[in-house]
């Protein structure tokens, strides 16, 4: 991406565009959230629903966001406003999306802070040789104390530094190099999992779906996870597509992003669940799952702390490529709509992020008594953003691109003005007009008990 602030940035290559979108999609959502959601929702049946949602809703919505972004080359507000003559009436959705991106950043940076803490603890060796219960205590100590706040702030400062330093030279190059490394490391850990005693049980849990377990909460959870993991319904992919060059093929980029993202999530599952059963953890542990299971895995590997340090380091990188994309939503809005400089926009976005993230970090300790509907601030934000904000925004985007944006505009983007065919145009439009809105509405109404 060019960092020239006088001009709108553009990813230099098609590969750069794919790397950035995959960098945004692959993150804690795949390695932390996917395994714990799978565990909480009963394993294989959840994964089956998840894959259906990625293909049925995820890929078409990615295409819709790409169309809005590249077609308008604008921030999320401009993307609604400039893509159709009636677009001005839809900018409210843009504000909602900006707000949800900030809220996701709040709890996401807390988890990224834990990753930072584990990386540090691996380097110092302080988590070496711990048994399962010591690891659980360690996690508890880290999340309830002030260390949690410090780690969150340090992570957000690193995020701000990358955003200030420029996207091309910092994050784009780093992710081009480190994302493949993360893949390699995941493969190594997968192979290690194959030797664990709990392999059979873990694989059965993951890949033998018990369809009788599917209920409204599994469906809503799987849909929310698909949206979260693909970074859709957030305007993030819209903003990134506004930096795509003319040659980027939107349909292909959407499919590649969805396939790679799902692959990483499944690999994470294959790493975690055999270990869960080997070391006697409960799959239903929730957000702590990965942070308790992985140290147990590393603890039993030769040179485990070195692997652990590398793994958590790469996870930090994967998190930063995602938080950068989340921050970019508000930063591009501040820059283009409120006419701020890149520097001031980044500072404002980081201050907003820090204020909420610190409260979220404290929700494990000093603020743990402050709950809404029985949920801590952290759980509430995770639940509300993934299960309400993202699907609602997804619904709005599908209806808007399906029904309001002129066909000429969508076709132009999907075929690069007719330079290549997009044979699935009719199918895509049908899905955006009917399947996405109906599916999202049904699942949503069902899960809140109105159906």
Query: What residues make contact with ligand PFF under the rule CB under 6 A?
Result: 24-25, 27-30, 101, 104, 228-229, 231, 234, 236, 322, 325-326
Give the tokens for residue 335. 């820059």
Beta-carbon contacts of 86 under 8 Å, excluding residues fewer than 6 positions away, are: 404
Give the tokens for residue 366. 């000093």
Smaller CB separation from ligand PFF, 104 or 241: 104
**Cα 383–chain centre separation:** 14
Smaller CB separation from ligand PFF, 35 or 299: 35
- Output the smallest distance, CB 83 to ligand PFF, in A: 19
Smaller CB separation from ligand PFF, 196 or 357: 357
Smaller CB separation from ligand PFF, 84 or 231: 231
- Output the smallest distance, CB 117 to ligand PFF, in A: 18
* Neighbour tally for 434: CB within 10 Å: 12
Beta-carbon contacts of 374 under 8 Å, excluding residues fewer than 6 positions away, are: none
Smaller CB separation from ligand PFF, 25 or 254: 25
- Output the smallest distance, CB 279 to ligand PFF, in A: 25
Closest residue to ligand PFF, judged by C-beta, is 29
Dist CA 426 CA 384 (whole Å) = 33
Q: Is 277 within 8 Å of 201 (Cβ atoms)?
A: yes
Dist CA 363 CA 264 (whole Å) = 30
- Output the smallest distance, CB 365 to ligand PFF, in A: 24
Classify burial at 341, counting beta carbons within 10 Å of its beta carbon; exposed 0-12, middle 13-18, buried 19 or more. Answer: exposed
- Output the smallest distance, CB 250 to ligand PFF, in A: 18
Q: Is 378 within 8 Å of 357 (Cβ atoms)?
A: no
- Output the smallest distance, CB 64 to ligand PFF, in A: 15
- Output the smallest distance, CB 108 to ligand PFF, in A: 7
- Output the smallest distance, CB 237 to ligand PFF, in A: 7
- Output the smallest distance, CB 401 to ligand PFF, in A: 18
Classify burial at 337, counting beta carbons within 10 Å of its beta carbon; exposed 0-12, middle 13-18, buried 19 or more. Answer: middle
CA distances from residue 20 to 1, 236, 266, 316, 325 in whole angstroms, order as listed: 10, 11, 21, 16, 9
CA distances from residue 440 to 159, 165, 238, 257 in whole angstroms, order as listed: 33, 39, 20, 21
Bridge partners of 376? 371
DSSP helix/strand/coil, 375:
strand
Dist CA 352 CA 63 (whole Å) = 30
The number of residues making up the chain comes to 451
């Amino acid at each position: 991406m060019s960092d020239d602030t006088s001009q709108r940035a553009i990813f230099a290559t098609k590969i750069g565009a794919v790397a950035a979108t995959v960098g945004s999609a692959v993150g804690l959502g795949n390695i932390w959230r996917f395994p714990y959601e799978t565990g909480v929702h009963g394993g294989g049946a959840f994964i089956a629903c998840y894959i259906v949602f990625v293909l049925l809703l995820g890929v078409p919505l990615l295409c819709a966001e790409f169309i809005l972004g590249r077609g308008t080359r604008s921030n999320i507000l401009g993307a609604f406003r400039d893509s159709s003559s009636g677009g001005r009436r839809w900018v409210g959705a843009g504000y909602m999306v900006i707000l949800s991106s900030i809220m996701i950043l709040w709890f996401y940076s807390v988890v990224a802070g834990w990753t930072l803490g584990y990386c540090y603890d691996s380097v110092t060796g302080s988590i070496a040789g711990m048994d399962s219960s010591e690891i659980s205590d360690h996690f508890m100590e880290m999340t309830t104390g002030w260390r949690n706040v410090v780690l969150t702030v340090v992570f957000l400062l690193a995020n701000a530094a990358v955003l200030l330093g420029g996207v091309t030279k910092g994050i784009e190059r780093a992710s081009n190099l480190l994302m493949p490394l993360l893949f390699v490391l995941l493969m190594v850990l997968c192979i290690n999992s194959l030797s664990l005693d709990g392999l059979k049980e873990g694989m059965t849990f993951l890949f033998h779906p018990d369809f009788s377990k599917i209920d409204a909460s599994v469906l809503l959870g799987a849909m929310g996870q698909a949206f979260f993991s693909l970074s859709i319904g957030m305007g993030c992919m819209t903003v990134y597509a506004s930096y795509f060059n003319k040659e980027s093929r939107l349909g292909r980029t959407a499919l590649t992003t969805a396939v790679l993202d799902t692959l990483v999530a499944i690999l994470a599952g294959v790493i975690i669940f055999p270990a869960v059963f080997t070391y006697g953890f409960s799959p239903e542990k929730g957000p702590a799952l990965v942070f308790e299971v992985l140290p147990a895995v590393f603890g039993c590997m030769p040179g485990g702390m070195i692997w652990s340090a590398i793994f958590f380091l790469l996870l930090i990188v994967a998190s930063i490529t995602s938080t950068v994309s989340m921050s970019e939503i508000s930063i591009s809005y501040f820059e283009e709509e409120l006419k701020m400089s890149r520097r001031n926009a980044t500072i404002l976005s980081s201050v907003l992020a820090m204020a909420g993230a610190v409260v979220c970090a404290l929700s494990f300790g000093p603020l743990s008594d402050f709950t809404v509907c029985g949920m801590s601030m952290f759980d509430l934000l995770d639940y509300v953003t993934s299960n309400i904000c993202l699907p609602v925004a997804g619904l709005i985007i599908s209806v808007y691109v399906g029904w309001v944006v002129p066909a000429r505009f969508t076709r132009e983007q999907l075929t690069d003005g007719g330079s290549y065919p997009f044979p699935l145009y009719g199918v895509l439009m049908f899905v955006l007009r009917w399947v996405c809105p109906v599916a999202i509405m049904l699942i949503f109404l069902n899960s809140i008990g109105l159906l």
